[in-house]
Amino acid sequence: MLQKVAISPRVLRTRAELEAYDPASESWQKQFARRYTHHSELKDVLNNMEDVNGTVYEKFAVSITPYMAQLMDPHDPNCPIRLQYLPSRHEEQKPGFDTLLDELGEEGDTVPGTSVVHRYPRRVLFLVSNTCSTLCRFCTRKRMVSQPAGSVHKEEIERSIDYIASNKDIDDVLLSGGDPLTFDDERLDYILGAIRERAPHVRFLRIGSRMVVQLPTRVTPELCAILEKHRVQMANIHINHPKEITPLLRERVKLIQKAGIMMGLQTVCLKGVNDDVDVLRELFMQAIEMGVRPYYVYSTDMVEGAHHFIVPYHRMLELYEGIRGWISGPAVPTFVVDGLGGLGKLPIIPTYVTEEIRRDGQGTTIKCRNYKGDTVEMPGLGLDFRVPSQSRA
């Protein structure tokens, strides 16, 4: 009797094959196996593609799902989807400032023997995987993502859950990586179940995932049932450009929402990709339209090989000014810089309200301006008015 041999799905090497491919026609695991892992595999799929030096791969791998490749403009080298995922010669150039592999200082806050980053008093980051379905060229965790040495072993995961269980002050746990959804349902079911069983004091359990956007077919009724069973309260997804919001993504986001899970949006401000007021307005309004609340817009981290994406601080202020007041309030996220070395998320906020000394020197007055530049003075806000006490008769 002949033994059946499993045949891995092949990479779609021509434009015609890619355009004919339906991501919903096969399991997410098979699409995951079809990923492009070298830019040369896309030479008959994309025109005007940069041919980078192979040494780029020594620092950071390439991984692109066919679904994401379908979203790339076949001719435009400045396509915002291409820029996020295709390697560039800029990655080997040296900027005029220091870049780091662990720009956020996470290793210094990692509990020894675990993959738990415990920086804040009552919440932790639990890194469960070093794998992603598609690799962002600006990834802040290049030190571990796609690197064999960055693998999170089962023993580390067990010690991490033990640490969370033993620390009763922890009430907020964020699963991230890599991407937690690269695990199969059984593994994810075990990890979430273990947290709920062994750490009942955890009040807020959430997952951060880019895979929902990069491979929407990963979101299945079975996955959503697991998330609902273990009371995962929030899923944060990562979208940088409106082109990433497709009918398939909208469909799978609805499955998550039907499981009773809040959804938030995280975005990285990237030069050439989304450092444009109109692009961000459209992105945030499309997100809120599908019930995903814009949460953070991060400055690009100063990690190795990502300096060409950095948007200057003054431009981020301009972008914020061009959004607040111009679109729905709930669609306006917080713009932040993730402070070097673990300083934390620091809000970037233009000055709309200032306190100044009054001309007569008697106290202060408050000067306000709105998104259109209209101004008004509110001296009452500068006073410490106290209601006089009444004497009893």
**Each residue of 175-205: pLDDT tens digit?**
999 999 999 999 999 999 999 999 999 999 9
The pLDDT of residue 384: 75
Tokens 């990923």 map to which residue? Answer: 35
pLDDT band at 1 (very low <50, low <70, confident <90, very high): very low
Phi-psi region of 291 (alpha: psi -120 to 50; beta: other; left: phi over 0): left
Question: Residue 148 burial (CB < 10 Å; 0-12/13-18/19+)?
Answer: exposed
The pLDDT of residue 391: 66
14's CB contacts (< 8 A; 6+ apart) are 44, 45
Question: Residue 279 burial (CB < 10 Å; 0-12/13-18/19+)?
Answer: middle
The residues that bridge with 116 in the sheet, in sequence order, are 126
**Structure tokens belonging to residue 328:** 């729905």
At 338 the three-state DSSP class reads strand
Average pLDDT over residues 125-131: 95
Distance from C-alpha of 239 to C-alpha of 28, rounded to nearest angstrom: 20
Q: List, for residues 326-371, the tens digit of each pLDDT value.
A: 999 999 999 999 888 888 889 999 999 999 988 887 788 999 999 9
At 241 the three-state DSSP class reads coil
Alpha helices in 131-289 (DSSP H): 154-166, 185-198, 211-214, 221-229, 247-258, 277-289
The pLDDT of residue 5: 42
pLDDT band at 155 (very low <50, low <70, confident <90, very high): very high
- pLDDT for 104 beyond 90: no
Distance from C-alpha of 266 to C-alpha of 347, rounded to nearest angstrom: 14
| Average predicted confidence (pLDDT) for the chain | 93
Distance from C-alpha of 153 to C-alpha of 115, rounded to nearest angstrom: 9
More confident residue, 303 or 295: 295
Mean pLDDT lowest for which of 57-66, 226-235, 264-273? 57-66
Average pLDDT over residues 111-135: 96
On whether the pTM is more than 0.85, the answer is yes
Catalytic amino acids?
Answer: 119-120, 123, 132, 136, 139, 141, 301, 338, 345
331's CB contacts (< 8 A; 6+ apart) are 284, 285, 287, 288, 294
What percent of the chain shows pLDDT beyond 70?
Answer: 97
CA 199 from centre of chain: 26
Q: Angle between the 313-321 and 277-289 helix axes, to the nearest 10 degrees?
A: 60
* Nearest one of 89, 106, 91, 22 to 59, comparing CA atoms: 91
